[in-house]
Amino acid sequence: MTIVSKRTLLQLTATAVAAGVTPAHAADPLKIGVLVPLTGATASDGARLLKAHELAAKEINARGLAGLGGAKIELIVGDTQSRPEVGRSEAERLISRNSVSALLGAWASAVTIPSMQVAERYRTPFIVTSAVTDSITEQKLQFVFRVSPKGSWAAKDVVNFIGHLRTKGAAVNKVALAYEDGPFGQTVSKGYKAFLPEQGIQLAAEETFRTGSADLSTQAAKLKASGADLVLIVCYVDDETVLLRALAAQQYKPLVLGYGGGHVHPTLLQLGPLVEGAFGIVEWMPDIKKPATEAFVKAYRAAYNNEAPLSNAAQAYAATWAVALAADAAGNRNAIAIRDALRKLRLSDGPASLLPNDTLAFDEHGQNIVGNVMSQVIGGQFVTVWPEAVASQPIRLPSR
């Protein structure tokens, strides 16, 4: 038996610390940084994101991470205040001061991009939960991953859906585009403008606006003047609320197709008849027929007073499980080891498999290959109507 003296042990520990290696014990939690907007323009979204992160953490901790000796995870939250510069400083704080092993977040593309750049510089994995700007996974970054689809992918799905609407008797000949002028709106609209004309769909008008605009009556008037049968809207929920009210004030009733969690949002349903029949392209819906989706929705409703989760909540939940399972597989809290495990991750069942693809996995660019579904407001509720294979109800064309 080899006996190590106390003096030798202290020398070994000192050597490890000098080399930048901190001893970890089985009971030590896996620290995960969570960047969410708890204040500012998108605070309501941040609150919902955090609920999903916390639900995943509760479930993970009930099991423990066997690869880390049964350790639990600890979420350390940074409020981005919905501002890019704050997102950047909070990312740096979580990594340099709180010693997190990975970061998750940070909702809006404008905040996510500077935050993930900090993570890349510190060689710390960053899983993007909901931001859709294409360039996020097109920069050959080594520590950035994304569970949500690229924004430009929506264009192909929208074209296919327009074709489906036409088979149901909808007259969709001219399309107008209205979008917020930040990275999110620019990315999605770029895909629309490139792909729709190639498929013979005429873009009759294009209107932009700044997030947080209190009056969009000018844009609404121009959209009406275009005579578009369908208006594609890409913005956050408060902006879409303003725009839909402005369209109603113009007595203009086109088909409407919103985008993502900015459209499939409880706030929008407060508009009542103004939003009835509106369509939305979204990354996930709670009525998708998958075991993991059904289990998540049941758990989320039970935890949060029967509140229905949105697509961004599903993405936050999946990302939390993904990073925990990667650390578990690596058997290590080290950031590079977790990065390497994320690259190998293949989750075709279990809690993280709730998104609308067969397997949650990251390609060589860190991108999860996942598509979109179409929702419609029917009877004051969002329901999945396309693709028909996963639809919970058939499309209902509104009276116009």
pLDDT tens for 334-393 read 999 999 999 999 999 999 999 988 899 999 999 999 989 999 999 999 999 998 877 889
Neighbours of 213 (CB within 10 A): 17
d(CA 186, CA 188): 6
What residue type is assigned to position 185 of the chain?
Answer: G
Q: Does the pLDDT at position 60 exceed 60?
A: yes
First to last CA, the chain: 86
d(CA 108, CA 33): 17
pLDDT at 237: 92
Q: Mean per-residue pLDDT for 187-192?
A: 91
Tokens representing 151 are: 């924004």
The closest of 142, 200, 83 to 364, measured between CA atoms, is 142
Helix or strand (DSSP H, E) at 7: helix 6-18
Q: Residues of the chain with pLDDT > 70: what percent?
A: 93
Tokens representing 267 are: 């706030």
Q: Mean per-residue pLDDT for 108-133?
A: 96
Reply yes or no: is the peptide bond before residue 387 cis, omega within 30 of 0.
yes
Burial of residue 222 (number of CB atoms within 10 Å: 0-12, 13-18, 19+): middle
The closest of 99, 78, 98 to 90, measured between CA atoms, is 78
pLDDT at 19: 35
Helix or strand (DSSP H, E) at 145: strand 144-146
pLDDT at 26: 55
Handedness of CA 27, 77, 151, 282 (dihedral sign): positive
d(CA 278, CA 265): 12
pLDDT at 140: 96
Maximum CA pair distance of the chain? 88
pLDDT at 387: 84
- Domains in the chain: ranges and CATH: 30-149+289-369 (3.40.50.2300), 152-282+374-390 (3.40.50.2300)
pLDDT classification of 18: cutoffs 50, 70, 90: very low
pLDDT tens for 61-88 read 999 999 999 999 999 999 999 999 999 9
Neighbours of 166 (CB within 10 A): 12
Q: Give me Rg for the CA atoms of the chain.
A: 23
Instruction: Flag the least confident range among 13-17, 133-137, 180-184, 304-308.
Output: 13-17
